[in-house]
Amino acid sequence: MGFFDRFTSSKETSAQPATAAPAPASAENTRAGAIHAQLLAANEKLKAADLPAAMSIYEELLRTAGDRADVLVTISADLGTAGHIPQIIELVAPRYDAEKHGSATGLNLLQAYLAVHNTTAAQHLLDILFALNRPDLDERLHGFSNALAELIEAEKRGDLPPFPPAAATAADGQPAPARKAINLVSISRPIWSYGLENLPGACPPQKNAGDSRLRRVAFAQLSTLGITDEEAAAKAAQPEDALARLTRGLPLWLSETFYYSPHYNPIAALALINNDSYAIFPIEWTPAHITQLVASSEGGLDYVFTGALQQKDDTTEIRLRLWEVKKLRERKQFTATLTPATADSALAALHAQILQFMEWRQDPAAPACTAPASATAWCDTLGASLSFFLAEKGVLPLAHLADPAATLARVAARAANSERDALASQTLADRALRLGLAAAP
């Protein structure tokens, strides 16, 4: 999941009726094909970390087609997804006209201004987007407005961290390494259920994303407090440890549970660095991060759970925050203290408190969502399932799977605990075979 909008709104594109005959080739069709090819070529350069080559293609394209809304929104989306935020402002801002180019490019540009902490430009653009009088954008624009207010307050307090400049240099005078991009992966179903679509009764019914009665809730990866940026980068470069797996396993468990409710459409939001490794966050998510998550979620969100954990000796403190998206305000905090002896009961109690507060109810059309035999073991299974799933998709290198043979054996040993454990073990073993790893016992 990227943070930036693409040109997909039906209000801003046109489609031919299904019965229409194919349009004959024309100069305009040929030109559109050439533009599309240039955009694809530039995106391939971005994926190859060749920003200068991509910028060269974009600059040539903008000279000939810089008035096209689809060109501007694609350039801003691709640059944003690749983490090249200043370049969005450099290329798009001088050409953007809200009336001509629509809202999608404006939202991408607004996110770029917020990311680089240019509050003056962000406020000006926000006023322009509000002036479009688009009721369907109101919630998102109010979310951005709240994020902007947070930045302005931080500026006044003098604790707003500087945005790293694009042309930063290292201490030895050489160009600094390229800034790494954070990519969010959204898991919208129980992670173990991928591959079981044709097994009757194994999983809850598929959610209808267009059902406005469903409350949309996201469970974000937990931050790891008490470590420096350098320590976080070092940990991210290694296969995940048990604590890192918990930062992803707990949101996956909560999202899975809410999938069993008829009132919610949940996702778990997990982070990767350049699709090379998992990301580890040394600070808690801010309202600006939440706003970006909401903006990148199809259909938006009603609630977001963020959180953090911190380990001291044998004790782990967990704090979760529930955010109401419409007003971008924190509604509730949930806390838990884990020790090796109490971890299962503490996590189960935390899980139960959240379900009670959110008025969770079992979907009568779904299999029973029973409590796991061990909360810590189930979070471990879910975290492992995520890693194997992402490795199979090619977005997480195999080197980042922590001791695959031991992981497979550990999950297989739990298969007798419940039907869900058995299904999770089977899908994990199946992925291991396709990845060329040893099968589970």
Which residue ranges form the domains of the chain, and what is each CATH number?
32-157 (1.25.40), 182-365 (3.40.50)
Question: Model confidence at 421, in pLDDT bands (50, 70, 90)?
Answer: very high
Alpha carbon of residue 352 to chain centroid: 25
Is pLDDT at 314 greater than 60 in this prediction?
yes
Q: Are 290 and 323 in contact (CB under 8 A)?
A: yes
- Kindly report, residue by residue over 43-72, the tens digit of the pLDDT: 999 888 889 999 999 999 998 888 898 899
Question: How confident is the model at residue 389, as a pLDDT?
Answer: 95
- Which one, of 155, 163, 152, lies nearest residue 115 by Cα? 163
- Which one, of 242, 259, 235, 225, lies nearest residue 361 by Cα? 259
- Kindly report, residue by residue over 122-161, the tens digit of the pLDDT: 888 888 899 888 888 888 888 888 888 888 887 777 766 5
Question: Model confidence at 180, in pLDDT bands (50, 70, 90)?
Answer: low
Question: How confident is the model at residue 149, as a pLDDT?
Answer: 87
- Which one, of 145, 139, 130, 142, lies nearest residue 302 by Cα? 139
Question: Which of residues 354 and 25 earns the better pLDDT score?
Answer: 354
Question: How confident is the model at residue 20, as a pLDDT?
Answer: 39
Per mean pLDDT, which range of 16-30, 64-78, 185-199, 248-262 is the poorest?
Answer: 16-30
pTM for the model stands at 0.64
Question: How confident is the model at residue 54, as a pLDDT?
Answer: 92
CA–CA distances in Å: residue 134 to residues 103, 140, 326: 9, 11, 16
CA–CA distances in Å: residue 259 to residues 13, 331, 364: 33, 22, 12
Question: How confident is the model at residue 155, as a pLDDT?
Answer: 76
- Count other C-beta atoms under 10 Å from residue 214's C-beta: 18
Mean pLDDT of 82-96: 87
Is pLDDT at 27 greater than 80 in this prediction?
no
- Kindly report, residue by residue over 344-402, the tens digit of the pLDDT: 999 999 999 999 999 999 999 999 999 999 999 999 999 999 999 999 998 899 988 98
Per mean pLDDT, which range of 171-175, 307-311, 412-416 is the poorest?
Answer: 171-175
Mean pLDDT of the chain: 85
- Kindly report, residue by residue over 100-124, the tens digit of the pLDDT: 888 889 898 898 888 888 888 888 8
